[in-house]
Structure 1
Amino acid sequence: MPAQVGPVNNEQEGLLGFLAQMRFVIRLTAYGLSEEQLRASPTASELSVGGLIKHSASTEENWLSTIRREPPAVDYAKYAENFKLADGETIDDVFARYDRVAEQTEKTVTELGDLNYEIPVDDAPWNRKDLTHWNVRWILLHLIQETARHAGHADIIRESIDGATAYPLMAAAEGWPETPWLKPWKKAEV
């Protein structure tokens, strides 16, 4: 996926395009990492690259359940587990889940065809008390914001692990040619 979202012809296409871009960016933080590095938490928090990607997939999955008026996909009592790769869980497992969630999000939004479609606000303590409903537009904007926030967290963790940053990683993942001002990331020789 290129570093920029392509032309946008309408609001729905733009929202889904920017959400897809943020999914790509957060997934990119895992590029070239070992299983051990994906689980590493080298900063002041317990966050890891793999855990943040898993959490982003879980968050989108829960909002998709909200749009569909289904029970939450993730049990809030197990919220902290969504920030860590479980024993035996691989990044490929998480990517496959994220792909399924993304496909279902795009399918659901496209089938609804109404960004104003209203969904009642639940009683989670972090939700605004002055609102009675969300709409699909708000949910997509929130998912873009949430995914971008966690992509930033994952960027910092990734940089703490091996010094890699977003554009060199993107250049390596996408096969961009080296330029005088941008060198694709390469795994350090050990």
Structure 2
Amino acid sequence: MPGLTPPAPDERTSLTTYLAQQRRTLRATAHGLTEDQARLTPTAGELSIGGLIKHAAHCETFWTDLVLQHHRDPEPSTGESDEFHLSPDETLAGALAHYAAAAKRTDAAIADIPDLGRVVPVPPGLPWFPAELGDWTVRWILLHLIEETARHGGHADLIREAIDGATLYPLLAAAEAWPDPWFQPWKPGQ
């Protein structure tokens, strides 16, 4: 599979293809990690690759619930979120499976919406949403998911490089078994 998204014939395909690409690269940062490595926080912050994947799944679920108008009460923030950490009973494989399921659900929801300009009400009272904003569009939500996934993919790139020196394209080449890769595929211990 190529390292870049292919050209797309329309806006919907462009947006969903870019979102799929960002998900793919975030998942690739976990390729070949042990459970202990998935929990490592080797940078100045407290982010781990396993925690970022868990958070990305949570984000997709939250935003897809908004699109589908499946409202749920927000979880109170204590400043520290378990959403960014794998608990002792969670595994990297489980976080990846949850992320894949959330992505599949998002893709199905978006495929069933004929107009990306459809209005989605903003839930009132959440401190991270502007109080004066009444709604946004499905298009805006897709763009936000791309932004959010790319941001955390960048975090994961830095964390992975700090763990073992692995970088994205060699990880993709290894994870996807690229034929005739233009990067030497990553191997453990390199």
Report if TM-score (shorter chain) is over 0.5: yes
1:8 maps to 2:15: no
**1:91-119 residue CA offsets vs partner (Å, 9 max, x unmatched):** 11112111111111111111122101111
Alpha-carbon shift at residue 66 of structure 1 (Å): 0.7
1:90 alignment partner in structure 2: 91
CA separation in 1, counterparts of 2:73 and 2:144? 18
1:175 aligned counterpart, secondary structure:
coil
Judge conservation of contact 1:58–1:74 (CA < 8 Å) in 2.
no
1:138 matched residue in structure 2: 140
Question: What is the match of residue 71 of structure 2?
Answer: 71
Letter in 2 for 1:168: P
User: What secondary structure, in the 3-state scheme, does the structure 2 residue paired with 1:119 have?
Assistant: strand
AA at the equivalent of 2:154:
G
- 1:128 partner amino acid: P
Change in CA separation of 1:74 and 1:3 when aligned onto 2, cut-off 3 Å: farther
TM-score by length of 1: 0.91
Q: Does the 8 A contact of 1:22 with 1:151 survive in 2?
A: yes
- Choose between structure 1 and 2: higher helix proportion: 1
Residue equivalent to 1:21: 21
State how far apart, in whole Å, the 1-side matches of 2:169 and 2:97 are: 24
Residue 109 of structure 1 pairs with residue 90 of structure 2: no
Q: What secondary structure does 1:86 align onto?
A: coil
Paired with 2:38 and 2:131, the residues of 1 have a C-alpha distance of 37
Q: How many residues align?
A: 188
Q: Which amino acid aligns with 2:6?
A: G
* Deviation at residue 2 of structure 1 after TM alignment: 2.9
Corresponding residue for residue 50 of structure 2:
50
CA distance in 1 between partners of 2:73 and 2:91 (Å): 20
Provide closer, same or farther for how the CA distance between residues 73 and 81 of structure 1 changes in structure 2, counting only shifts above 3 A: farther
For 1:33 and 1:57, the matched residues in 2 are separated by 19
Change (3 A) 1:44 1:124: same
Q: CA deviation at 1:167?
A: 0.8
Q: What stretches of structure 1 move > 6 A for 4+ residues in a row?
A: none
What do residues 121-148 of structure 1 show as CA deviations (whole Å, max 9, x unaligned)?
A: 2232222344211110000000000000
1:126 aligned to 120, 124, 128, which one?
A: 128
Gaps of 5+ in 1: none
Paired residues of 1:66 and 1:72 also in contact (CA < 8 A): no
Asked if the contact 1:62–1:73 (Cα under 8 Å) also holds between the matched residues in 2, the reply is: no
Segments of 5+ residues of structure 2 without an aligned counterpart are none
Aligned counterparts of 2:151 and 2:59: Cα–Cα separation in 1: 12
